[in-house]
Amino acid sequence: MKNRVSEILNTKYPLIQAPMSWNTDAQLVAAVANAGGLGILGPNAGQKTLTSDPKETAERMRNEIRKTRELTSSSFGLNIISSGEERDNDNPFYNELLRVAFEENIKYFAIVGEANKVLFDKIKEHNGVIIYRPITPTPEIMKVAEKMGADLLVATGYDEGGGLPVKSVGTFTVVPTMVDSVNIPVLAAGGINDSRGVKAAFALGAEGVYIGTRFIATQEAPSAIETKQAILDSGHEDMAFIVKTLRSILTKKAEIILKKHENNEDTSSDITGGFRTGMLEGKFDEGIISVNNGIDIIKDIPTVEELIERFFEK
Ligand SMILES: Cc1cc2nc3c(=O)[nH]c(=O)nc-3n(C[C@H](O)[C@H](O)[C@H](O)COP(=O)(O)O)c2cc1C
């Protein structure tokens, strides 16, 4: 499947495995790279614990980058959360991560959040490729990012897993709207779980797909087997919003959070660490399971290679 996206990514397929913090690691990302897609290491990839030291956090990422390189000779990428020029400037976690990324010659950057010209320019100075995903896509933001030098844009619909766009606009609306607003290629994200979703994305004008949730239920994903099984056993009716921009399968913890909401209690500390405890460790008393709206159709745990071949079957 050669098109503008696979050419820019230098991959067999125009597919990106989306960053999913703790639920990504060298094994998953290398498997995606070896199967013809672009894998992305998310924050805390390959980790089991959190460190509050920015240098240590970045060095752990260096280690995971090197581990990935041992498992694949193909390219892969890194996720940078961008909070905008001013806030990022003083953020040691962000600065240390960028330093390590450049030292390790990472080429592909999935920039998520604010379009940041200083960041884009730095990446270009290092001959990097910018895959930009605003949390809440609008034609204006896409145009700004295109002008700033983004190579690829991701249009994410409200169906997605993880932190949601602040506006509840579905993938079917977001993708063609963003495609029509720019000249560079757009990838579709949000609720793509099988080849029907991939075909729909292309029919809507996307030139590639950016897929998260479906990769959690694969053999290589680091998430707990209990989490993978819970995804197989659940559908969209088993999910609820635990905050306005985050939905979860109704784990015990999610139910506690919902109850607290009803009583107007603060839940911010309940959600912290949710992707690790609930998803990586499979501790449903302590954590949530954040996935997309379309998990009804996820029925097995294939290898990454099987999954990617299926996505692109005729
Ligand atoms: C469990 C989980 C964790 C996520 N963590 C991150 C993250 O660390 N960084 C990021 O940019 N996006 C994150 N996302 C969003 C994904 O990168 C991607 O936008 C989303 O998964 C695409 O929609 P889909 O899940 O319907 O395929 C996460 C998504 C999930 C499901």
Q: Which residues pair with 103 in a beta bridge?
A: none
Mean of pLDDT values over 252-271: 87
This prediction has a pTM of 0.98
Cα(80) to centroid(ligand 1), Å = 13
State residue 275's pLDDT score.
Answer: 84
State residue 270's pLDDT score.
Answer: 80
Structure tokens at 154: 């991701």
Q: What is the dihedral sign for C-alpha 260, 261, 264, 267? A: positive
Question: pLDDT confidence of 85, banded at 50, 70, 90?
Answer: confident
How far apart, in whole angstroms, are the C-alpha atoms of residue 296 and residue 98? 38
Cα(61) to centroid(ligand 1), Å = 18
Contact 240, 250 (CB under 8 A): yes
How far apart, in whole angstroms, are the C-alpha atoms of residue 222 and residue 270? 23
The rounded Cα 179 to chain-centroid distance in angstroms is 20
Q: Which percentage of the chain shows pLDDT scores above 70?
A: 99
Residue 80 CB–ligand 1 contact under 6 Å? no
> How do 246-249 and 239-243 pair as beta strands?
antiparallel
Nearest CA to ligand 1 atom 6: 20
Digit-coded pLDDT (tens) for 15-29: 999 999 999 999 999
State residue 274's pLDDT score.
Answer: 67
Q: How many CA atoms lie within 13 A of 28 on its CB side?
A: 29
Digit-coded pLDDT (tens) for 196-212: 999 999 999 999 999 99
State residue 314's pLDDT score.
Answer: 85
Those residues whose C-beta lies under 8 Å from the C-beta of residue 49, and which sit 6 or more positions away, are none
Coil, helix or strand at residue 282 = coil
Digit-coded pLDDT (tens) for 151-204: 999 999 999 999 999 999 999 999 999 999 999 999 999 999 999 999 999 999
State residue 262's pLDDT score.
Answer: 86
Cα(19) to centroid(ligand 1), Å = 6
Strands (E), the chain: 15-17, 38-41, 77-82, 108-113, 129-133, 152-156, 186-189, 208-211, 239-243, 246-249
Task: Compute the mean pLDDT over every residue in the chain, rounded to the nearest whole number.
Answer: 96
State residue 238's pLDDT score.
Answer: 97
How far apart, in whole angstroms, are the C-alpha atoms of residue 220 and residue 143? 36
Question: pLDDT confidence of 280, banded at 50, 70, 90?
Answer: very high
Phi, psi of 239 (to 5 degrees): -115, 155
State residue 269's pLDDT score.
Answer: 79
How far apart, in whole angstroms, are the C-alpha atoms of residue 58 and residue 55? 5
Show me where the domains of the chain are located: 4-220+300-311, 225-297
In this predicted structure, the answer to whether residue 1 has a pLDDT above a threshold of 90 is no
Nearest CA to ligand 1 atom 3: 20
Residue 21 CB–ligand 1 contact under 6 Å? yes
State residue 154's pLDDT score.
Answer: 99
Q: Which percentage of the chain shows pLDDT scores above 90?
A: 91
Question: pLDDT confidence of 243, banded at 50, 70, 90?
Answer: confident
- Name the CATH superfamily, with its identifier, for domain 4-220+300-311: Aldolase class I (3.20.20.70)
In this predicted structure, the answer to whether residue 266 has a pLDDT above a threshold of 90 is no
Q: Which of 15, 16, 17, 20 to mutate to test the pocket of ligand 1 (most atoms within 8 A of CB)?
A: 20
Question: pLDDT confidence of 268, banded at 50, 70, 90?
Answer: confident
State residue 177's pLDDT score.
Answer: 98
Question: pLDDT confidence of 253, banded at 50, 70, 90?
Answer: very high
How far apart, in whole angstroms, are the C-alpha atoms of residue 204 and residue 187? 10
Digit-coded pLDDT (tens) for 135-157: 999 999 999 999 999 999 999 99
Q: Which residues pair with 38 in a beta bridge?
A: 16
